[in-house]
Chain A
Amino acid sequence: MSSTKYTEYDAYAAEEAAASGGEKQGRVFDVNGQDWDQVVAGAEDLGDERLVVNMGPQHPSTHGVLRLVLTLDGETVDDCRVGIGYLHTGIEKNMEFRTWTQGTTFCTRMDYLAPIFNETAYCLGVEKLLDVTDQVPERAQIIRVMMMELNRISSHLVAIATFGLELGATTVMLNGFIEREYTLDLFEEITGLRMNMAYVRPGGVAQDLPSGALSKIRDYLDRMPKRIQALRKLMDANPVYLARTRDVAYLDLTGCMSLGVTGPMLRATGLPWDLRKSQPYCGYETYDFEVATQDTCDVYGRYLVRMQEMEESLKIVEQCVERLQRVKGPVMIEDKKIGWPAQLAIGADGMGNSPRHIAHIMGTSMEALIHHFKLVTEGFRVPAGQAYSHIESPRGELGAHVVSDGGTRPYRVHFREPSFVNLQATPAMAEGGMVADVIAAVASIDPVMGGVDR
């Protein structure tokens, strides 16, 4: 390595070196399904019990494009290596070339199962740098909390549903996904989009709740407890499920601390660490809810924590609905130099700026038009400095390290993605166990590769 900026890797030279016996390589089998007898026969010929299996990045049970390199001794996993990077989209780099407000549109796409959390973490960071955290309207904060908790439910539902599928239980998958659909319907009703909403913006949220949204949420709240109960009935004491999850993929508190693991995995070791309680944001300290914990340190405990968290989330949503009836007012910061000038509304040609605002800037006020134009194209300036905002996402501590140089675009945004961090624990949980339990271990982490790779 001669230059500091570039590292050169000559793939051809490496291949040649390997071909000339520089690096010893074992026999390679291409497995395309239905040809396991050949592999077994070939392995028998070799007289070696150890088998290196490349699982992924396209394996259906790896939660996206995750690659696991497993060294197997019979059915036992000797060694497990994790390969990521297949879904790297350069979101952090891209954000540096857009305004602060446009940043939400990028970061919402990271962890695509928890978009509201990505947006909120980022916006809290920007607000911290702007020093306007206290000026965000109460109604906006309540809506943020409500959306986050609905999002937590939908994310946990996918976690449990796909987990069921990966263990071979389609019923669990169908049940989980249908409930998630109802949650996404609510998102569609409120934000116009089912995923990647870019709904939370620096200073508040993009638009107020549409009329009738609260009654839809109430219907949801009526139905959901029964449905969660049904899921519990299906799985909580199911002997097959218990056999696959109990005492599987054990990771205790020491392991979690040293590997930086947070979220349901940490709470399944018995530590009630939840940023909503311990370092509250968006007014979480004013809501009444419990932190779910288990002390089994295994896959089953993580499942129970997720189940209980969904029930607690419903409690919080209920309190939000009650508050939203009472608390009226703006949902965007009053400061005209920061707040987006218009609310969004449904027009004849789809979602856009509200007709009243358009009439105002196009018909009556030239200054308002200039202001709108400047704020939308140029954006606002954020004082130089750095801030770290942290929220409790469904997967653990989601942090945003936001750096500004005083300009209209982020100088650097780095996300501490819980999926990325927690995935490091895979070898610790998988090694020494059965190969079938690797699936359970990865699924209990609930990694979302969009978040891992960003």
Chain B
Amino acid sequence: MSSENPEQRAEQGADQLPAQAEEERREQPIARTGMFGAKTTGDTSGYGRLVIRQSPKVTAPRPYGGPGGAAEAGEFDEIADELERALPDFGDAIERVVVHRGELTFVVKRERLLEVARTMRDEPSLRFELCSGVSGVHYPKDEGAELHAVVHLLSITHNRRVRLEATCPDADPHVPSLVPVYPTCDWHERETYDFFGIVFDGHPALTRIEMPDDWVGHPQRKDYPLGGIPVEYRGAEIPPPDERRSYV
């Protein structure tokens, strides 16, 4: 987006004016409507008509910049260049590249995850030797990619960080295991399986780790209630937290 010419850059900066941003926001798809769960005519707050929009999945344009900002080519570009060089079909393996809040994310096709991770670790110019773990996220509205496995990598050699993200649909919750490349993922993947039901293919012993072995369901999925029983307080019933009205 940026340019060498400061005048041009100022002009490009115009798209950050509030009016422009407002228009852009209106183009985004609607994520949800309303508040407090009020749906009927009894809603006098007006919040029932609230519309929340969410930006669509974007691919960051070059240059990616670095942790400090994306004004000029920086270490994120170096990482992407090196990965592109080491991985001939980079465009096929990496679905999207996201640069947000000074962090670089490669959204990797799940069948290529192991290969990408191995390249990230073994290539001397990349050398992400430490894996900071796997975290699952459940997006029930993201059709065809409801479950995300998010891997944070750290390069001590180059003092850099990068995030790999692989998705899988609810109907086929399989993602390759990273244990052959990063043995530390053993417990992380067990935890993600336990809480989200993502099956990591190739894991040596994918069993529950936090919940009891005979537990039914995967508790940190969005369709799993927070639980709890209605609490009675002086005759008035307080519902469990996930059933109370909320500002979401």
Task: Tell me whether B87 is interfacial, beta carbon within 8 Å.
Answer: no
Task: Tell me whether B55 is interfacial, beta carbon within 8 Å.
Answer: yes
Taking the closest CB of chain A, its distance from the CB of B142, in whole angstroms, is 11
Q: Are A390 and B132 also in contact (CB < 8 A) when A399-B152, A412-B137, A424-B187 are?
A: yes
Task: Tell me whether A416 is interfacial, beta carbon within 8 Å.
Answer: yes
Listed from nearest, the 3 A-B pairs whose CB atoms lie closest are A260-B184, A414-B135, A378-B247
Task: Decide: B214 and A258 in contact? CB cutoff 8 A.
Answer: no
Task: Decide: B101 and A385 in contact? CB cutoff 8 A.
Answer: yes
The contact string, 1 if C-beta is below 8 Å from chain B, for chain A 401-431, is 1010111110110101000110110000000
Task: Decide: A424 and B184 in contact? CB cutoff 8 A.
Answer: yes
Task: Tell me whether A129 is interfacial, beta carbon within 8 Å.
Answer: yes
Q: Which residues of A contact B150 (CB under 8 A)?
A: 386, 401, 414
Task: Decide: B184 and A421 in contact? CB cutoff 8 A.
Answer: yes
Taking the closest CB of chain A, its distance from the CB of B108, in whole angstroms, is 15
Q: Are A403 and B137 also in contact (CB < 8 A) when A92-B220, A93-B220 are?
A: yes
5 A-B pairs in the complex with CB atoms less than 8 angstroms apart: A377-B247, A387-B100, A388-B132, A388-B163, A399-B132
Task: Decide: B135 and A258 in contact? CB cutoff 8 A.
Answer: no
The contact string, 1 if C-beta is below 8 Å from chain A, for chain B 204-216, is 0000111111101
Q: Which residues of B contact A416 (CB under 8 A)?
A: 132-133, 135, 152
Task: Decide: B132 and A88 in contact? CB cutoff 8 A.
Answer: no
Q: Which residues of A contact B223 (CB under 8 A)?
A: 5
The count of A-to-B residue pairs whose CB atoms sit within 8 angstroms is 138
Task: Tell me whether B236 is interfacial, beta carbon within 8 Å.
Answer: no
Q: Which residues of A contact B55 (CB under 8 A)?
A: 384
Task: Tell me whether B1 is interfacial, beta carbon within 8 Å.
Answer: no
- Bound together, the chains give a CA A390 to CA B163 distance in angstroms of 13
Chain B interface residue count, CB cutoff 8 Å, equals 57
The contact string, 1 if C-beta is below 8 Å from chain A, for chain B 145-156, is 000001010101
Task: Decide: B216 and A386 in contact? CB cutoff 8 A.
Answer: no
Task: Decide: B159 and A278 in contact? CB cutoff 8 A.
Answer: yes
Task: Decide: B101 and A421 in contact? CB cutoff 8 A.
Answer: no
Q: Are A93 and B219 also in contact (CB < 8 A) when A260-B132, A407-B248 are?
A: yes
B161 partner, pick from A257, A261, A388, beta carbons under 8 A: A388
- Bound together, the chains give a CA A94 to CA B241 distance in angstroms of 9
B133 partner, pick from A260, A279, A377, A403, beta carbons under 8 A: A260
The contact string, 1 if C-beta is below 8 Å from chain A, for chain B 176-191, is 0000001110111001
Task: Tell me whether B170 is interfacial, beta carbon within 8 Å.
Answer: yes
> Which residues does A use to contact B, with CB under 8 Å?
4-9, 11, 84-85, 88, 90, 92-94, 96-98, 128-129, 131, 257-262, 271, 273, 278-279, 377-379, 384-388, 390, 397, 399, 401, 403, 405-409, 411-412, 414, 416, 420-421, 423-424, 453-454
> Which residues does B use to contact A, with CB under 8 Å?
31, 52, 54-55, 100-103, 105, 129-133, 135-138, 150, 152, 154, 156, 159, 161, 163, 170-173, 182-184, 186-188, 191, 197, 208-214, 216-221, 223, 226, 241-242, 246-248
Closest Cβ neighbor of A420 among chain B residues: B187
- Bound together, the chains give a CA A4 to CA B131 distance in angstroms of 27
- Bound together, the chains give a CA A384 to CA B32 distance in angstroms of 13
Task: Decide: A260 and B152 in contact? CB cutoff 8 A.
Answer: no
Q: Which residues of B contact A88 (CB under 8 A)?
A: 210-211
- Bound together, the chains give a CA A378 to CA B173 distance in angstroms of 35
Task: Decide: B241 and A90 in contact? CB cutoff 8 A.
Answer: no
Task: Decide: B210 and A4 in contact? CB cutoff 8 A.
Answer: no
Q: What 14 additional pairs, Cβ within 8 angstroms, besides A5-B221, A7-B216, A259-B184?
A: A85-B210, A90-B226, A93-B220, A93-B226, A97-B226, A128-B102, A260-B130, A386-B105, A388-B132, A399-B152, A407-B52, A408-B248, A412-B138, A420-B187
Q: Are A421 and B133 also in contact (CB < 8 A) when A9-B213, A84-B210 are?
A: yes
Closest Cβ neighbor of B247 among chain A residues: A378
- Bound together, the chains give a CA A129 to CA B248 distance in angstroms of 17
Closest Cβ neighbor of B217 among chain A residues: A6
Q: Which residues of A contact B170 (CB under 8 A)?
A: 4-5
Q: Are A406 and B52 also in contact (CB < 8 A) when A388-B152, A397-B132 are?
A: yes
Q: Which residues of A contact B102 (CB under 8 A)?
A: 128
Q: Which residues of A contact B152 (CB under 8 A)?
A: 388, 399, 401, 416
Closest Cβ neighbor of B138 among chain A residues: A412
A260 partner, pick from B138, B171, B182, B247, beta carbons under 8 A: B182
